[in-house]
Amino acid sequence: MFKSINFKEGDITEGIVTSIKKYGVFLSFEGGYIGLLHISEISTNFVNNISNFFKIGDLVTVLIKEIDKTSKFLKVSIKDLPDELNEYKEILPSKKVTSYLKEIDFSKLEKALPKMVEEEIERENNYEL
């Protein structure tokens, strides 16, 4: 039988990668808990392929976001960890996204932005409560 663990939301703990899917990583934790690290909880940048970052058996530090004590299921996050514990914070945006952004012509916005900011400040100054 599993020993009793008293996880709380906000706790930082380690889990072992047991399965890798396109949408996330399943982890095994002490006390018989299992958890899902959804792809959106790995980095603030776009993660294209989870398999580039994890393999079965990896020990991963995570922050517990939600707990279902009945089913012993945890929703966990890496991107919400303190920076010093987040080894994935430097994940760069995918090349597909960055190459797409390079193709966008921002010059019109760049020229218009000062006037837009000035108009917004003027509107805010003229706003009466």
* 12-91 topology per CATH: OB fold (Dihydrolipoamide Acetyltransferase, E2P) (2.40.50)
| CB 65 within 8 Å of CB 77 | yes
Q: What is the pLDDT of residues 70-116, one digit of tens each?
A: 899 999 999 999 888 887 766 555 555 455 555 666 677 677 777 77
- Interatomic CA distance for residues 56 and 61, integer angstroms: 14
Q: What is the pLDDT of residues 30-39, one digit of tens each?
A: 988 999 999 9
DSSP codes joined into one string, the chain: -PPP----TT-EEEEEEEEEETTEEEEE-GGG-EEEEEGGGT-SS--S-GGGT--TT-EEEEEEEEEETTTTEEEEESTTS-GGG-TTTTPPPPHHHHHHHHHS--HHHHHHHHHHHHHHHHHHHH---
More confident residue, 68 or 94: 68
More confident residue, 128 or 20: 20
Q: Does the pTM of the predicted model rise above 0.75?
A: no
